[in-house]
Amino acid sequence: MRRAEFEENMRAAVGTIRRNKLRSGLTMLGIVIGVTSVILVAGIVHGLNSYIGDKVKEIGAKVFFVARFPLFGPPDNWTEEIRQRKYLTFEDAVALREQCPTVDIATPMLTRAIFFGHANEVRFRNNVVENPFIRGAEPELGVVIPAFGVKEGRMFTHAEDEHSERVALLGLAIAESLFGREDPVGKTVRVNGIEFRVVGVMERHQGMFGGPGIDQFIVIPYQTFAKLWPEIEDVIIAVAVRDPQELNRAQEQVTNVLRRRRGVRAEANNDFETAAPDFLSELWDELTGAIVILTFVIASIALVVGGIGVMNIMLVSVTERTQEIGLRKAVGARPRDIRRQFLTEAVMITSLGGVLGILVGIVGSRIIRGLFENLPASVSLGWIAIGFAISVGVGLFFGIYPANRAATMDPILCLRYE
């Protein structure tokens, strides 16, 4: 098709749309709804994928965890078999350090938290923060899990851990609530009525989807925690490797060592759980995959409805312009010229609907991002291209039948049509 013919078809298509604004607008509506659905969900999923990826990086790409219970699930879902498992111990962490060649660091953690049935509070003068998470850990915690990095002050030392000294690092939100603009380092707070000297404040970390993050944690030396709350025995071991490529091998070595130490029979399943941070990514990918499929089903229904509307209006247009078709054929227009003209009109209508749908989707994504901080929606250029391609494809698919019908009409009968 020559450029002049293309421009002529475009002008004819624009003229038809202008003459029938309301009809064309209603026809576009299904396309707008379908493309908007695709763009909105794609924007939310794309933004959340980046968000989840960032959270996984904060935990560390060279880390996995070992626990008696599943780490990603509430205690209410634990089976009786899980509840009866033996606790992991501090000595297990030492054994992993000594017996697993690929393991760089294996550090134990203890946690006192409301969802384990333990209420907490921390006070400074008249200021109180209720139910913070209290974690007992070794000084390596910040190395293994970067999210526990120190912003102000310092991490407690091995000597302070060995001597069970009462020193603490505060999450940033706790520090701001207790001290405001006052420097917390060196001050004394009361954690469950016990005095602790603040040696540091951790980096800001608000948690995932508004859930608890490092901001709500108080970290104290492991031995201090074990001495103050000996009834809490659920040890979680954070294991770091030197090379991320050795993560799977390290998990195998850790599993073998713990099975021997815990006397697990060869044919029995593990009586402990291992989980790497990329489990979150895999779980999220499965969830978003289902969401995307569902969205495409819904969007497809809207697009099919919109496509049927396009076909209907194009058939009406063919009928209305029967004499025009006959006149064009009488002066030399070929069937393919007629076909291109009507296909161009169909694609023009769906393309305009696609552009409107993309714009509405982008605006909607920005509104969602502004209203909900935990839904960082962002639309990529790839999805914009996909949305536009879908709208063009709908025009071609549903416009081809009316275009063929116009192209095969008898010019003599067309000229006689009233």
Residue with tokens 């393309």: 351
| pLDDT recorded at residue 290 | 63
3-state SS assignment for residue 136: strand
Q: Is the pLDDT of residue 130 over 90?
A: yes
CB 409 within 8 A of CB 334: no
DSSP of 172-227: HHHHHHHHTTS--TT-EEEETTEEEEEEEEEPP---STTS--GGGEEEEEHHHHHH
Could you tell me the residue ranges of all domains in the chain? 3-55+281-416, 61-276
Q: Is the pLDDT of residue 281 over 60?
A: no
CB 320 within 8 A of CB 55: no
3-state SS assignment for residue 270: coil
| pLDDT recorded at residue 314 | 79
Please report which helix (H) or strand (E) contains residue 76, including its range: none
Give the model confidence (pLDDT) of 300-340 as tens digits.
Answer: 777 787 788 888 887 877 777 777 777 777 777 777 877 88
Q: Tell me the average pLDDT of the chain.
A: 82
Give the model confidence (pLDDT) of 10-38 as tens digits.
Answer: 666 666 667 777 777 777 887 888 888 88
**pLDDT band at residue 3, thresholds of 50, 70 and 90?**
low
CB 188 within 8 A of CB 198: yes
User: What's the whole-number mean pLDDT along residues 98-119?
Assistant: 91
Please name which of 200, 230, 56, 216 lies closest in space to residue 139, comparing C-alpha atoms. 200
Residue burial 266-301, b: 16+ Cβ < 10 Å; e: rest: eeeeebbbbbbbbebeeebeeebeeeeeebbeebbe
